[in-house]
Structure 1
């Protein structure tokens, strides 16, 4: 029963997303392409190839195979890749960086969804070397298992610092958090994720800029840009999407890409105004130390309108749940 209730709440939040100020058209936004492959029905993660020009990677959400797709600027699939030694319980996010030592692209796939907040004893994130050739293939994956130091969490966002290679998970909760993985990941034991800062309510994805000077966290309603130190720069208006699930920077770091679930879903390019481009700082941490106060998040807190929207979402969800309960008695 919990699954339908959670999906009902998700539908309510998605429906109310159009009421948010962030749903207004972003300045200069453009539809970059539409996924044409009928196999791409729940695009949940999005990343720009670090080594192939005009190539974008995506993968489907839960109930899918451990595979991802390389897509061209025209929305057509160039190659489909299956991961060997991987599962796809609930893939929710991906990241792509270039290894500064070798120049090779490195892809990360996050099996971190947990709608029951504790259904799984651990979560997994897979590391894959980016293929040099864009042709259908099966690729080896390195599996890292994780647990949260403060108990199970639902999450839909990961980001990798291109300067240090360190991995971060952003949870999707009303009091979400940014969690840092150990500097050195181990395959022979479970790695611990430790909370280092707060995240906006119900974050659906996150990404680092290619130069590591900033990062962004996406929610159903908007995207928030941060300096490397964790200081909030601005909220960036996002286009209206059916179910906003993904965020990434363009290769040159001057714009954001955002996508949605659904068949033939679009990917939009949203420019970052010059005034919203953060100034790099020497800090290597993506967020400030958590103070324990939920309101003091990198997202800059809630406005009165945000509160009204979430109250409306809760009211709609409660009504839907009550109706579902009556229908299933």
Structure 2
């Protein structure tokens, strides 16, 4: 875990493009009230429960996460059976495309020595259907980077494809894509697909998959795809900005911090991002008049590559040729 003081001196070297949007005032959307949540490091909106937000503590804690209501009070605490929490740093939420069930992902991906661990882990859990304390079965996937070890605090899952991404936390960070099909019987390889801002602390995909955001200690950047930046978004001042996700409607961001009684703020997305990522209306087909048999035949001939000689012209030429042949034959008989 790298503190803000470690990178504050380098903040002025970061390069950003585009205007920045500001937070919704200085009033948090809610404040986490559970005294057990002291290092809220990951944040996700429930994909199936209204007004439910998930979070978990940072390294050194148990493999547990909390469901928090919109009033900031904990609704349930869940434990992952058989999991370990070496250095939990991030979480993500998605839906199973086959069943529509909610899926939660937890990233045990922290590595302050950039290669101290031979591999990192991400746990996949089916979202609980009821808000009651419980122990949940989890599937563990192990990963390694194609280019050596990295520290990371960000995972995100594309809502349409279900593909997992990890964003490294370094001065020259990068976005890494997991294989399309994850394996539990071997280590999965993460491959670099784009660059990331300096010292990324969290990342998330929009609910419709049209864009994603990467959070740093100082701001957030929204991307259409890896490497294609849409806008930079200013964040409210936080003691240690650690988490970010999208609201359920995809029109704003939620961001949080570590510490006791930590606040969660709502930050609207810039208008240009909403405009750029809005669904495009399907093109209206141009109506055509009903064609007669001859025109249909001519059109088919044109589609077959005979656009220079329409069918009607060919028919007229054949008729003329037949008439000329008859006249020649008649003359030849009379002159014998």
TM-score (norm 2): 0.77
Does the CA contact (< 8 Å) of 1:84 and 1:141 recur in 2?
A: yes
> 181, 191, 194: which one pairs with 2:191?
194
1:14–1:262: structure 2 CA closer, same or farther, 3 Å change rule? farther
- In the TM superposition, residue 272 of structure 1 has moved relative to its aligned partner by 1.1
Match of 1:66 in 2: 63
- In the TM superposition, residue 21 of structure 1 has moved relative to its aligned partner by 12
- In the TM superposition, residue 37 of structure 1 has moved relative to its aligned partner by 0.3
After superposition, the CA RMSD in angstroms is 2.4
- In the TM superposition, residue 26 of structure 1 has moved relative to its aligned partner by 1.7
Give me the whole-angstrom Cα distance separating, in 1, the residues matched to 2:263 and 2:11: 17
> 225, 247, 252: which one pairs with 1:250?
247
Q: Which has the higher contact order (CA 8 A, sep 6+)?
A: 1
Match of 1:309 in 2: none
> 96, 100, 105: which one pairs with 1:99?
96
User: Does 2:7 match 1:13?
Assistant: yes
User: Does 2:44 match 1:42?
Assistant: no
> 77, 88, 94: which one pairs with 2:85?
88
Structure 2 spans left out of the alignment, 5+ residues: 281-336
Match of 1:205 in 2: 202
Structure 1 spans left out of the alignment, 5+ residues: 1-5, 283-329
Q: How does 1:1-329 map to 2 (within 5 A)?
A: 10-13=4-7, 26-29=22-25, 30-228=27-225, 230-277=227-274, 278-279=276-277
Q: Which moved more, 1:176-185 or 1:229-238?
A: 229-238
1:154–1:161: structure 2 CA closer, same or farther, 3 Å change rule? same
Match of 1:322 in 2: none
Moved over 6 A (4+): 15-18
Match of 1:306 in 2: none
Which structure has the bigger radius of gyration? 2
